[in-house]
Structure 1
């Protein structure tokens, strides 16, 4: 018997948002981990809003704001407006954020304004650290053997915005044709994003870019430190020294051997010497192309060196994930501080992946 094409809607429903989310959905374990980290941040959230005790409308709860930002990364949502649109009718999103069926969705500009408060108070960085602390308690980290690398991030600025600092620029008259014109970071800067630098690496073309850096733990490839710097030829090694120094200070026992794997770009005398001073064994790939490697042969011939060279490739998985899923190939924010916060948040979202199957999350656009 053929069924009738009718639509019947009840006035009331007795089902909860929880009932609409499958028990095996990856977001369940991610939400549990995120909530554990957010509970530890209660004091920071209180300090962020203590100046607002005089009155006024309540702002967006920072816990809900951070969970919404995580969704934006996990589901490759390009803009806040698109995120709010999805939250309006997507029950899964409402459940993850902590909104009931009857709660109003925020205006995109209000969401963006409140997000700036999190960036100002480094809440994203603390969230990353709390997620890392959870991983440490679960014994997901070795805490002694690391890998380091950097990647290019395209800025939200175009070549036409890259003009002379002194204002005497005739590029606009050329209609964007820069052939034969000398342009460098010393004489030019972007009008839309002054922190972005013109940079090329290898066979890539010169673009306005930033440089993202991560320090990963070799046990499972989880990121233990992340930062963004301006793009230049020395940024990778300088950032690596900062992250290694921070990691080394956490390890109280100086007798524990700490190692770091890296590619040939880190084979420089000043970097190798800096590692040895920090009592970090540099398992850096030897660069012997027309030169002598700075890595001692005694280190390069050790068994641990070979293991580090195999494990260091795990760091590329994080870069690949944040550039494709996290949409960090080209950022949608401007300024070093904001780009750094988005990069750190993306890495915080990536870290639970080996245990929560983040990569298998179904797309909201399928």
Structure 2
């Protein structure tokens, strides 16, 4: 017989426990086991008033943000709606059935205020990282570094040439992102003297987010973007640091120094090897790794290619005791062919030394067409960090280097997870600080998801569809 559902009856009392309605294999179960915000209140205490009406608990806002980033809920307005309706989200956020969900505007006010002033999001990220270290997921033997381009919240049509003079005071005055950009310019260039060269202007500047960099993805149109830079521990793929930069290769590479130094200072964690792609194989970066930090560079050495088909520099022999190169026919290439009254270092602005052959030797040489077909003499540019470059080349021939190249895929997988699962392929917040906030929260969510997947006991493993 077909059943019949009775009408809704209003009961006077209900016996309802949120914990009973959250599956044991739910992702938030695993995250909640390892997510500790006990130190957040003390960290934020100096930024709250001792009088007045109690505000929204900061732990609640952070937990809601973690839910949003873990499940790809990009809109904070929609996040509030989801937390209101979803029992698992309420359980994780410590909200009862009758507890009110904060208004979405609360997040914006706290983000631009006390959260940024106190570095609260950095504090949360580092507390999660410390838990990862305590659980043995970050060991510090090997790190990998890489960057990924994320679109900024800026219309590519709302851009002007970098050489154009812009009056930022038009309309209602500069926005928060513009004010941040102008403040950064003043801090980087407090005074301009005649002996200081101004920085090269950007190709194109966004009027809504001027700190974003105009860049082009392979095979697609150019757009304004930021780069998220990850430094990960290769043992379990835990993110040990993250840094936001404009999408410019030089700034991405330089962020590596910031991240490695910060992890060493705050966690006493320094890797024995650092893995990266060719972008991190410049002479200055390799010199920093080897000479200053004593880290083995598992990085391909960047070498400027020759387009004239001439013999490569590797065919020339370096003679250390004579400070010169020898060409395949035995002739010398030197940095100076005569003695100067005042000794010169011959080091260029690019931290290189140019070694030149003798024109008399080259003009009579039978290999001139193979060696220097378009110039009267042969030149070889040697980096002042060439010893570090040689060490990187030697490491490239070892089995450990091959293993490092395979392990480097872990950071690329994190970027794919960031864009496809967490839906962070375009930023919502503007300005470099906005990008920094979103990248920190995303990295925190990824570390929490990794702990939930790796450390949950058998029988309580999170479902594959949510991990």
When the two structures are superposed, what TM-score results if normalisation uses the length of structure 2? 0.68
Aligned mates of 1:129, 1:65 — CA distance in 2:
17
Aligned mates of 2:44, 2:441 — CA distance in 1:
17
The answer as to whether partners of 1:73 and 1:349 remain within 8 angstroms in 2 is yes
Task: Give, in angstroms, the shift of residue 286 of structure 1.
Answer: 4.3
- Aligned partner of 2:450 in structure 1 is 354
- Aligned partner of 2:236 in structure 1 is 220
The answer as to whether partners of 2:141 and 2:272 remain within 8 angstroms in 1 is yes
The answer as to whether partners of 1:285 and 1:309 remain within 8 angstroms in 2 is no
The answer as to whether partners of 1:272 and 1:295 remain within 8 angstroms in 2 is no
Aligned mates of 1:187, 1:149 — CA distance in 2:
24
Aligned mates of 1:252, 1:75 — CA distance in 2:
32
* 1:220 aligned counterpart, secondary structure: coil
Post-superposition Cα deviations, 1:253-285, rounded to whole Å, max 9, x if no partner, equal 9xx871101112222111111111211111003
Aligned: 1:279 with 2:294? yes
Aligned mates of 1:102, 1:231 — CA distance in 2:
45
The answer as to whether partners of 2:41 and 2:58 remain within 8 angstroms in 1 is no
Aligned mates of 1:108, 1:250 — CA distance in 2:
33
- Aligned partner of 1:300 in structure 2 is 396
Task: Give, in angstroms, the shift of residue 45 of structure 1.
Answer: 2.3
Aligned: 1:80 with 2:76? yes
Task: Give, in angstroms, the shift of residue 248 of structure 1.
Answer: 4.0
Aligned mates of 2:267, 2:95 — CA distance in 1:
41
Aligned: 1:239 with 2:235? no
Task: Give, in angstroms, the shift of residue 303 of structure 1.
Answer: 3.0
- Aligned partner of 1:178 in structure 2 is none
- Aligned partner of 1:53 in structure 2 is 50
Aligned mates of 2:155, 2:55 — CA distance in 1:
35
Greater mean alpha carbon deviation, residues 309-318 or residues 109-118 = 109-118
Aligned mates of 2:32, 2:272 — CA distance in 1:
33
Q: Say if 1:322 and 1:21 are closer, same or farther in 2 by CA, change over 3 A.
A: same
Task: Give, in angstroms, the shift of residue 43 of structure 1.
Answer: 1.4
* Matched length: 342
* 1:149 aligned counterpart, secondary structure: strand
* 1:8 aligned counterpart, secondary structure: coil
Task: Give, in angstroms, the shift of residue 126 of structure 1.
Answer: 0.8
Aligned: 1:124 with 2:83? no
Aligned mates of 2:411, 2:26 — CA distance in 1:
26
Residue 94 of structure 1: which of 86, 90, 97 is its match?
A: 90
Task: Give, in angstroms, the shift of residue 318 of structure 1.
Answer: 1.3
Q: Say if 1:252 and 1:159 are closer, same or farther in 2 by CA, change over 3 A.
A: closer
- Aligned partner of 2:25 in structure 1 is 24
Aligned mates of 1:278, 1:187 — CA distance in 2:
35
Aligned mates of 1:295, 1:344 — CA distance in 2:
36
Aligned mates of 1:60, 1:206 — CA distance in 2:
41
Post-superposition Cα deviations, 1:223-269, rounded to whole Å, max 9, x if no partner, equal 1010101121202210112212233446769xx87110111222211
- Aligned partner of 1:152 in structure 2 is 149
Post-superposition Cα deviations, 1:100-158, rounded to whole Å, max 9, x if no partner, equal 11111222223332333323321111111010100111111121210000010100001
Structure 2: tracts of 5 or more residues without a match = 168-199, 307-312, 315-388, 454-461
Aligned mates of 2:463, 2:252 — CA distance in 1:
27
Q: Say if 1:233 and 1:219 are closer, same or farther in 2 by CA, change over 3 A.
A: same
Structure 1: tracts of 5 or more residues without a match = 169-183
Aligned structure 1 segments of 4 or more residues deviating by more than 6 angstroms? none
Q: Say if 1:20 and 1:335 are closer, same or farther in 2 by CA, change over 3 A.
A: same
Aligned mates of 1:319, 1:54 — CA distance in 2:
44
Residue 418 of structure 2: which of 319, 322, 337 is its match?
A: 322
Aligned mates of 1:81, 1:217 — CA distance in 2:
34
When the two structures are superposed, what TM-score results if normalisation uses the length of structure 1? 0.85
Task: Give, in angstroms, the shift of residue 11 of structure 1.
Answer: 3.3
Aligned mates of 1:307, 1:282 — CA distance in 2:
13
- Aligned partner of 1:12 in structure 2 is 13
Q: Say if 1:249 and 1:259 are closer, same or farther in 2 by CA, change over 3 A.
A: farther
The answer as to whether partners of 2:31 and 2:451 remain within 8 angstroms in 1 is no
Greater mean alpha carbon deviation, residues 86-95 or residues 211-220 = 86-95
Q: What pairs up with 1:140-179 in 2 under 5 angstroms?
A: 140-164=137-161, 165-167=164-166
The answer as to whether partners of 1:185 and 1:198 remain within 8 angstroms in 2 is no
